[in-house]
Chain A
Amino acid sequence: AQKVTQAQTEISVVEKEDVTLDCVYETRDTTYYLFWYKQPPSGELVFLIRRNSFDEQNEISGRYSWNFQKSTSSFNFTITASQVVDSAVYFCALSEPVKAAGNKLTFGGGTRVLVKP
């Protein structure tokens, strides 16, 4: 079975500091997809980024950047110059095929980020 581990349960920073969230995954699939989702205090799950296993190019999108390293099975996520609105729980997720042509997301336990003004 696949597994996603987010070792950091909570991170507290002061506004404008950078925040890096760690994610380590386990899978036997050779082709897979990794995701980051954000869950603000209002409760909804917001899609942030998606990365496939055969594309290790790291990218920056606004204040978000990610570091995918297949050799260490890590998919870390960084928020640059954090803002109070970034306060949320962040989930790393791994796509996993299931029977009947289905697919499910295996989520990590989440990292709660608290950005203080």
Chain B
Amino acid sequence: NAGVTQTPKFRVLKTGQSMTLLCAQDMNHEYMYWYRQDPGMGLRLIHYSVGEGTTAKGEVPDGYNVSRLKKQNFLLGLESAAPSQTSVYFCASSWGRKETQYFGPGTRLLVL
């Protein structure tokens, strides 16, 4: 039982490049989330999903897209990376709406 895993762990991008961050959970959780963590800003919700095939915007969705084609996976895409997207990205999942969110190990992204 791996819990929540994230791929890759670290990535360097040039401005304008695209990439996809993968989050996978093996706990059969319905809800999945993407957060970003920045110094002095805490964690902020980017997008979330309440079930397979559904996604919704969080508080900082601009510049990101997501997909939840399979229940266990939640993908975060950056179509055209910008330096402002340099951050640590955390994926989380939970069984239900008000249940505990369990986090992955994070992906550190540097956009030059």
A contact set with B: CB distance below 8 Å: 33, 35, 37, 43-47, 50, 91, 95, 97-105, 107-110
Residues in A with CB closer than 8 Å to B56 are: 98-100, 102
| Docked complex Cα distance between A104 and B88 (Å) | 17
Known A43-B88, A110-B42: A105·B54 in contact at CB below 8 Å: no
Top 6 A-B pairs, shortest CB-CB distance: A45-B103, A100-B56, A104-B45, A107-B42, A44-B105, A103-B97
Interface size band for B: 20 to 34
Residues in B with CB closer than 8 Å to A110 are: 42
Q: Are B45 and A95 in contact (CB under 8 A)?
A: no
How many Å from the CB of B42 to the closest CB on chain A?
4
B contact set with A: CB distance below 8 Å: 31, 33, 35, 40, 42-43, 45, 48, 50, 54, 56, 58-59, 88, 90, 92, 94, 97-98, 100-106, 108
| Docked complex Cα distance between A99 and B92 (Å) | 18
